[in-house]
Amino acid sequence: MPKTNLASMTIEQLLQLRTDLEKVLSRKANELQSQLVKLGGEIKPIRMGRGTSLRGRKIAPKYRSPEGEIWAGRGMKPRWLTEAMKQEKK
């Protein structure tokens, strides 16, 4: 396949190239999915983005004040902890 200079192409040519690429990629994806189904595989959706599976999960508290207040170590430090650190308490 000859290399094309994208910078020299017009907008219409670039849009046509994009639609051609989408067609080829969707055709290839359909072929691969049908081959996977024939092999007995399972198609799982792909997670896009940088999310993590740990988001929103509860964790055990790491810090506890003498009054019973707790902090898990996530997010901003609570006021009682910053005050205790200023007083150089452990």
56 vs 53: CA distance, rounded Å: 8
Does the structure show a pLDDT above 70 at 1? no
Does the structure show a pLDDT above 80 at 73? yes
pLDDT of residue 5: 87
* Predicted TM-score (pTM) of this structure: 0.42
How many residues does this entry show for the chain? 90
